[in-house]
Each structure stands twice: as structure tokens, then as C-alpha cells.
Structure 1
Amino acid sequence: MNLEYFPIDSQGFITDHERALEELFGENAENSRRFEQCLNVMAMRIATVFASLKEFPFVRYKASKGSATATTGRELIPTKLATAIWNNITAYKSSIPNFPQTETCELLIVDRSVDQIAPVIHEWTYDAMCHDLLDLDGNKYVYEVPSKTGGQPERKEALLEDHDPVWLELRHAHIAEASERLHEKMTNFLSKNKAAQLQQRDGSELSTRDLQKMVQALPQYNEQMEKLTLHVQIAGKLNQIIRDLGLRELGQLEQDLVFGDAGTKEVINYLRSTQEGSENKLRLLMIYACVYPEKFEGDKALKLMQLAKLSRADMKTVKNMKLLEGSETRKASHGTFSLKFDSTKSKHAERKDRSGEEETWALFRFYPKIEELIEQLSKGELPKDEYHRMNNPRPSSQGTSGTSQPTSVRAGHSTAPHSMRSRRTATWARPRSFDDSSDSSLRGTSTDFKKMGQRIFVFIIGGATRSELRVCHKLTAKLRREVVLGTTSIDDPPQYITKLKLLSEKELSMEDISI
């Protein structure tokens, strides 16, 4: 058996299907041989994750909403994938030694239609901003430093990955918080490090003892100073781009639109007043289409395109959102019939504010839909008519029925289901620790998964976002259950828009996609 999944994070993996969106959701995709082939290979790769961890999942999947005759091939994608995964894992029960015979974890399968806002809205964490606004090559950041000889600046490369303790600590922080903490770290570092103190002294002569201390501290000083300086530079560059593009105003409008605090008037005013590039206008209109799909019927879409000065190719991207069957679900919830009996005007919102969670930083209000789904799954409250299961029902005491109690979030204690065997955490699923005796705040924290409840796996067909990966880390601590995200690819907004734009193309070349 080949292990064909690819780790992207301590709690994430991909099946490396960059063309999944096209092969599964493109026009007439279900009539192509690539449709079944893509699903079968995907299922096999996902199944090897459970085989390598010796986990037997309780499988749930997003069910189609139409009748048996009206259901399209696209709506059945999660069902087909769940069936194929189940067939593979069932075979493992009899072929792999010591493979569990009863469920040891939970798997939820959804597709990209579950949330079409998350891939395009501006996410304000340090990680997401780096990948959205900087010209990164994967996780590689190229920058320039002054030449030591006084010549041309030297080009250097840095990998923004888990082995960098500063990145590991700040990646999920709001960009404003990351900037503040970097400033504090730099100030604290310069005040405590011996080499820095000696370097900052006035022109007085250094003693032999001073020189000895400086030499001893220099290697560690240079390494840490280089890391901190790099991230201070990146944060400064991000903040400059945010100011230059007016992203704070746009970000506020995006979130107000999603939560029902802004509407058509505010969108039109923004499109009329801003001179910024077409990509941000397109992203705003894609969010607008999710909240107000009726505004894109007939010639209304053409008028919006002219107002935003977008090309027909850009507007085709908005139209292609319907191929994912995501926008159709919005109409029923805001039909005119339901408003007749409302005594007060109802908000036209696509999200509700999270109870019990305060917004510490501006523009940190948005959350991906999978955050709600994972919490519902953990509590056993997923709607049974919307999310079907492959396995037979388990007793409510095991935490998957609708009557189960919420998981305790107290440290060291959980009422969530526990595996009776030892935790088999894959090497890619273990957070790396960083030993730095001079600055404990830079150490990577590790979570003791042995004390947690059963794992939760979520697989998103058609690509996932960095905000969704962040949510898995957040909920691991909150639910006291390791949450692992699987997907066909991790897409930043420009990549996702390119893939969506090409859904209605007859032939899609990978050279056309900027990865």
C-alpha cells in the first residue's frame, strides 16, 4: 500500500488534486471519465491516511438536497466519495493487522459549495495575509538585504513553515496583533541579549570580558536577530500594502455584508468611489452574490459589471459559482413569503455572530462555515437530513447522536469519546517544538494528544483555505479533540478565482493556473 497523501501542516494534508474543481464541478464534468477517476484516486489517498494511523472513521457526508430524479452529478460528489472511502477502509479491516474493528474517529466530507465566501474574503491573519498579498512561491519568501561589501543588495530566501518558531507563534494571529508582538519581541530581545547590549553601547572601549561575552552570544544572536528582522520586515510590508490598497475599508464592507450590516447601497457606493484594481472588486461581488443571489438575475449582473468596470471573463467567475450549487441554497432562506410575517425587518445575512466570542481585533469577525459544522459534529448535533452517515448508528453515550452532550473544554478532562488504544499520531501530525533558552516566548507549544478525545477529520472537496486550516487548530484546543483538515488543495484567493473562472472552459491547461 502506498501512502499517497501530502502533509501541509501539523494538522492538515492534501490529496494533491489541483484540478479537482474542474474535473468534478466543471460544465459536463460528470460525463467525463476523469470524474470517476478523480474521485476514486482521491478516495484511495484519503483511505491511506486512516490506514497509516490505524483509525477506523465514523463517516458522515453532505447529502444532496434534490429528489432522486432531480439530483445532479455535482450534488452527489460527497456521497460518491464517502462510498468509495468506505469501501477502501472496509477492506483494510480484514487485510491490515491490528486494524480497529470499531470506530475510533470521525470523518466529515463536504465540498466547496458549503462555503463560497471563505475562499475570497480577506482573511486578516498573518499567515493568510502573507499568501494573499505577497508574491510567495509556495511557502518561500524572497527578500533583499544590504550587501556587507557595500555593493548590490543580496537576495535571500526564507521558508515560512513550522520550523520557524516566530512564524509558528504568529501565523494565526491578526496582522495588527502580529505587528505589535513583533515590536515587543524585538524590544525585549535587544534589552536581554548580551551581544545586542554590547553592540548598542556608546563608543567606550570594550573590556576583554565584554568581548568574550559578545563572541559567545553572537551565533545565537545573529540567528534570532535575523528571524525577528525578517518578520518585522514582512509585517511592515503587509501593513504598507493594506494602506496602499485601502483594504481596511474594503475588509469592513466585506464583513458587514456577510453579517447583514451592509447591503446593496454600500456595495454600489464602494464600486463607484474606489479606483482600486479589478480583483478586489470581483471578490466583493462574489461575496455579494452569495448574500444577494437575486441581484445577479437577468441584466442586473451586466449593470454591476459595468459599474465595477469588470471584464466579461471576471463576471463569468461569478456566474460559475452556480456550478458549485452553493448560491442556490440562499434563495429559500430569504424569500418574500417568509418576510410577510416578520414584525421587524430581517437581516439579509450569510453568517450570524458567534455567541460568547468577542471580537478583540477589528475585521476578525468572520469565521468559515466549517467551524460551525465541526462543533456540531463534536456535540452530535449535525442535522441528520443534511449530513448522512455510512456506518450504522452508534449509542448516544459515544457522542455522535443528536442527544449527546457538548464536549468539556477543561484542560485534562473531556466528556468526548476516547479511544481505548494509545494515540498513533503521524509524524506530520505532531507539532514541532523549538528549544530556545534565551527567549521562551519563541518556543513552539506542543499539545498532548494522548489526553484528548477521538480525532475529527474534515475533508473539503474542491480546495480549502488558510482560514479553514486555522479553525482546525483553534478547535483542537477548544474541543480537546485533534481536528485534522484534509482537502484536494490549499488555495489562496487568486488561485481559487483562476480555477473558478476556468470551470466553464472546455479545456483547462495547468499552465493557465498560477499556483
Structure 2
Amino acid sequence: MGFSTEMCMMQGFTTDQDTAMDDLYGNIENTRRFNTCLNSMAIRIATVFASLKELPCVWYRASKESDESTAAKVRELVPTKLASAVWDMVSKYKSTIPSFPQNETCDLLIVDRTVDQIAPVIHEWTYDAMCRDLLNMDGDKYMHEVPSKTGGDPEIKEVLLQDHDSVWLELRHAHIADASERLHEKFTNFVSKNKAAQIQQRGRDGGEISTRDLQKMVQALPQYTEQVEKISLHVEIAGKINKIIRETELRELGQLEQDLVFGDAGSKEVIQFLRKQSTPENKLRLLMIYAIVYPEKFEGDKASKLMQLAKLSPDDLKVITNMQLLAGSSNKKSSGGEGGFSLKFNNQKIKHAARKDRTDEEEETWQLFRFFPMIEELIEKLNKSELAKNEYSCINEPSKSSAQRVPAKSSKTPQTAPTTAPHSIRSRRTANWGRSRTSDDGYSSDSTLKNVLADFKKMGKRIFIFIIGGATRSELRVCHKLTTKLKREVILGTTSMDDPPQYVTKLRSLGERQVEPPLNGLGI
């Protein structure tokens, strides 16, 4: 069928439709391609529920009444059409699949990429996201040099950054600074506990190595080699990332991006940055965020002037134009952009913000870690049955027996979690959901989520969220985080997993695929 469920700890799946954004939102005159894409998507989503024997309560982002063009209306109706198609298929399973639930057992929320156009382009500061954003990885493949076993030139080795790598499993959702510190601690602890490593270290320090020491090293060598390779690989990767951050002054840009999103920066700061030396890609991504928060700054010839100031091409302007086209009316909901609002300062200047700062709601955080994808708020609202009625609809209201269904562990009176005092945005700590339980040597590493997986059956109803048009690493991280926080397994579905360069490329070529002629000229 061509879709993948192997996405990080089985908490995600893709329908393997890399061209879905263009098929559904690009050249919509090609109705055959549109319908084929939507139908395949619905079948693959329904197959997930058939495999898990889950009957979802199907929520979706509803279209809004507007006087926009037919094309804009068609784009807004995509989540509605997909939700209807999925429910039509899944509801039939009640009579065709043995032991299939007759009442709703989980929640499914269907949205598209316009629900959050900042998440795909803002610099995400986790180890996982930085690897894929800055290191030109091919999927999960990372290429690096290793010493030749024959003593010749270094060899190129391919490694997969996946769940079988315990260090990767532990650090992938950690802030890059946190990951770097923890890797240093791992290596230090490893040397202090491993005899072969201590011998190696003494050799480097000029200490003599006895014959007995050499024998011990040989005996410990296989395990020593495996452990060192695992830790040194990630030390190398983190080192490369930190070097790129320093050389490109990425922290300054990252701070500006987040200040812009949270209303702490405006046009003045953006223009100052555009006048500096930076890569065209970074300037374009900043302007994309700027266009979302301040759409009025791109009206008329203002957009062209900004592109000239940034020394970007008309082809780059097309990316922003297509992004706004994709958003349609959702980009005009308010002067603050997507889900935006205004902040008044001194009763004179008005600054926009695309997010409300949630720093005080989190236990602990790192600098440049306050950005959160919009799906975090949506999932929490869905969990509390607080989705806005004027923006989200449900095809099948949950039946009474389903609504009364409770998780197995809820028979006991839940204990109230102790209140944790909020930390500053500059606090250099990691939230508990992202901490490992055993992480001192990198060999027994395990994530909090992995421990939680064993208790999934004791959790409440699953929450599925499906994003049409691609999802991001930050959104996958949110699903891991909320699984622990809400005590409900949160599963991310999407048409493809996109890193920032891929997303920008898709926007650049939106609508450029040729309309296919009817077969045999018969219009079929």
C-alpha cells in the first residue's frame, strides 16, 4: 500500500504522500489528481484504525464561510472532505471486521498545514531537529568518517539514527545544549567506570601501560569499542551542529525568530537583521515568519522591497506568495496572523504575536526553547473537550457509552500532581518528560517515553492527530511530551515528515506540476 508506521517509537505514521500539498492545494483544476490523493489518504488512515481496532470520534478543522474564490474554498474544504471519507470507511468496519468496537474508542483530529505555518520553518533547537536541519541528512542516514581498519585513508560509514541507538533514543528530543552537556557527562562517566577506557586515558596522559593492563584492554575491547563508537558518534554530531551554530550566528537568528513569534520583536529588528550577512535560506525563513505575524507588511510592493533589502530573488518571493495562497482566509483572521492577537505597548505601538507565551506553564526550559507548535494547544483542548465550536466540528458525536468509557487505571482516585514553580526562559534544565531514567553511560540509556510505552494499555483513550501537507519534528516531539503529560497515547499522522528545506522547496514549486490530459481524450 505504500505507507509507513515506523516513525519514532511507533507514535506516528505517514501515508507516504510526499506530493500531497501540491495535489490538494496546488493545481486544484486537476480534479483527478485531487480525488486520487484524497481517496488514497483516507484508505491509508482508515487502515491504521482497522489494524488497531479503534473506532475514532472524527474531529476536523471546519471551513469558514467567505466570499473568496472557488479555489480558496476548495482548499479550505480539504480537512472536511478527508474527515468524511475516513469516517465512511471506518464506520463500515463495525460490521465487516470481527470484534471491531461498536462505540468510539479514541479521538481523531484532522487539520492541514495552514493550522501552523511557523512550525515548518522556525529553527527548532532539539538535537533531532538540528541534525536534520543543519547536517543534510538523507532521511535517518548520517554519513561520517571513521579510521580505516587497515591503516589507510579514513572510510565513509553510514549510520542510522533510529530507535535501536539508545543514545539517540534518549537525546533526540533534548535541547542541543542539554544534549551536548549530557554527552560530555556520559563520556566522563564512561571513562571513570570502564577499565579499558581508563587504560586508554592513562596512555594519553603519558602513564605507562603494563602487560597486565594490555591483557585487560584486549579482554574488554569488544564492548569498549561498541560503547565508545556509540558515544563518540554523537559527540561528533553535536560538535558539528554547535560549530555551525557558532559560524552562522544562529543563536541571534533563533532569538529573533522566537521574539517575533511572541510579540517581543517587530519590523525594526527584522530589517536590522536583513541588512546583516546571513545565508539566503535563513533570511527567507525569517521573512516567512514575519509574513505570518505581520501579513500587512507584504501588501502591494512592500514584499518586493523587503526581498530587495534581503538580496533575495523573485523565486524566493514565490515561496512567501504560495505560503499566503495556501493559508487563504486563515491568514486574514486577524492582524496578528495565524491565531494571532495584538499586544499594546505604551498605548501607541501595537505589536503582533502568533503565540501566547507558555513559559510559566512548563516545568523547566532552556533558552530558545519556548516556541511550541499549535497542535500542542489543540491536543490539550481536544483532551478537555474545549475545541472552539466555530473552528472545529465532529462528524460522529461520541455515543453515551463511549463518552462514559474510562481508562483502566482511573478506577482509583487520581492523585493531584505537586505544583512546580515556574522557571525562567533562561533556566538551563530539561523538562521531566524529556529526561532519561538511566543515562549515565550511554549504554543503558532509556527514555521516559519508553517506560511509558509499557503502560499504554492502562492509559486513557488514544488521541490521533493527522496533518495534511506534512508534519515537523517539533510536532512529533509534542506528541511524545503530551503522551506523558495527558496519560493518553498521542499519535501523529501525516502525509510526509518534512524538514525546513523540504517544506520551502514544496512551497516554491506549489502549483507548477502540469495538469494531466484526460485519458484517451474521453475525460476519464
TM superposition score normalised by structure 2: 0.85
Amino acid at match of 1:353: D
Q: 1:363 aligns to what SS in structure 2?
A: coil
Q: Structure 1 CA distance, aligned partners of 2:484 and 2:514?
A: 44
1:46 aligns with 2:45: yes
Give the AA of the match of 2:269.
Answer: E
Give the C-alpha shift of residue 8 in structure 1: 1.8
> How has the CA–CA distance of structure 1 residues 126 and 43 changed in structure 2, closer, same or farther, with 3 Å as cutoff?
same
- Correspondence 1:114-133 to 2 at 5 A: 114-133=115-134
Where does residue 423 of structure 2 map in the other structure?
none
Match of 1:23 in 2: 23
Deviation at 1:327, TM superposition (A): 6.9
Of 436-445 and 363-372, more deviation after overlay is shown by: 436-445
Q: Secondary structure at the match of 1:453?
A: coil
Letter in 2 for 1:85: V
2:191 partner SS:
helix
Q: Measure, in 2, the Cα distance between the counterparts of 1:436 and 1:306.
A: 49
2:486 is equivalent to residue 479 of structure 1? yes
Mapped contact 1:127–1:171 kept (Cα < 8 A): yes
Aligned-partner SS, 2:75: coil
In 1, the alpha carbon distance for the partners of 2:264 and 2:404 equals 37
- Alignment check: 8 A CA contact 1:290 1:327 kept: no
1:111 corresponding residue in structure 2: 112
2:279 counterpart letter in structure 1: G
Task: Supply the distance in 2 between the matched residues of 1:32 and 1:148 (Cα, whole angstroms).
Answer: 57
Separation in structure 2 between the aligned mates of residue 241 and residue 200 of structure 1, nearest angstrom: 29
For the 8 Å contact 1:3–1:48, the answer to whether it is kept is no
Q: Is contact 1:322–1:328 with CA below 8 Å preserved after alignment?
A: no
Report the count of equivalent residues: 480
Which structure 2 residues correspond to residues 53-132 of structure 1 after superposition, within 5 A?
Answer: 53-67=52-66, 72-132=73-133
Shift of 1:319: 0.3
Q: Shift of residue 31 of structure 1?
A: 4.2
State how 1:446-457 maps to structure 2 within 5 Å. Answer: 446-447=451-452, 448-457=455-464
Matches of 2:314 and 2:131 in 1, distance apart?
Answer: 29
- Does 1:468 find its partner at 2:475? yes
Match of 1:426 in 2: none
Question: Retained in 1: the 8 A contact 2:105–2:402?
Answer: no
Give 3-state SS (helix, strand or coil) of 1:100's partner. coil
Q: CA deviation at 1:90?
A: 1.1
Instruction: Name the amino acid aligned to 2:459.
Output: M
Q: Which letter does structure 2 place at the counterpart of 1:385?
A: N
Q: Distance in 2 between matches of 1:437 and 1:124?
A: 23
SS at match of 2:142: strand
Query: Counterpart of 1:240?
Result: 243
Partner letter of residue 14 of structure 2? I
Alignment CA distance shift 1:3-1:131 (3 Å): closer
- String of CA shifts for 1:78-106, please: whole Å, max 9, x gaps: 00000000011011111100000001110
| CA distances 1:340-375 after superposition (whole Å, capped 9, x unpaired) | 9x9575541000111422663111010000000000
Query: What is the CA–CA distance in structure 1 between the aligned matches of 2:495 and 2:47, rounded to whole Å?
Result: 14
Aligned to 2:176: 175
1:125–1:173: 8 Å Cα contact kept in structure 2?
Answer: yes
Contact persistence 1:44–1:85 (CA under 8 A): yes
Supply the RMSD in Å over aligned alpha carbons: 3.1
Mapped contact 1:5–1:48 kept (Cα < 8 A): no
Kindly indicate whether residue 37 of structure 2 is the aligned counterpart of residue 32 of structure 1.
no
Contact residue 195 and residue 214 of structure 1 kept, 8 A:
yes
Q: Which residue of 2 aligns with 1:13?
A: 13
Distance 1:30 1:77 in 2: 14
Distance (Å, rounded) in 1 between the aligned partners of 2:267 and 2:441: 54
In 2, are the aligned partners of 1:62 and 1:386 still within 8 Å (CA)?
A: yes
Q: Is the 8 A contact 2:58 2:108 kept in 1?
A: yes
Q: What is the one-letter code of the residue matched to 2:44?
A: R
Contact 1:24 1:30 in 2 (8 A): no
1:259 alignment partner in structure 2: 262
1-structure distance, mates of 2:139, 2:149 = 29
What one-letter code is carried by the residue in structure 2 that aligns with 1:33? R
Unaligned runs of at least 5 residues, structure 1? 416-432, 510-515
Q: Which residue of 2 aligns with 1:425?
A: none
Identity %: 67
Distance 1:459 1:323, change over 3 A: same
**Match for residue 501 of structure 2 among 494, 497, 512:** 494
Unaligned 5+ runs, structure 2: 417-435, 517-524
1:507 is displaced (CA, Å) by 3.1
State the 1:109 CA deviation: 0.2
**8 Å CA contact 2:116, 2:374 repeated in 1:** yes
The letter of the residue matching 2:498 is D
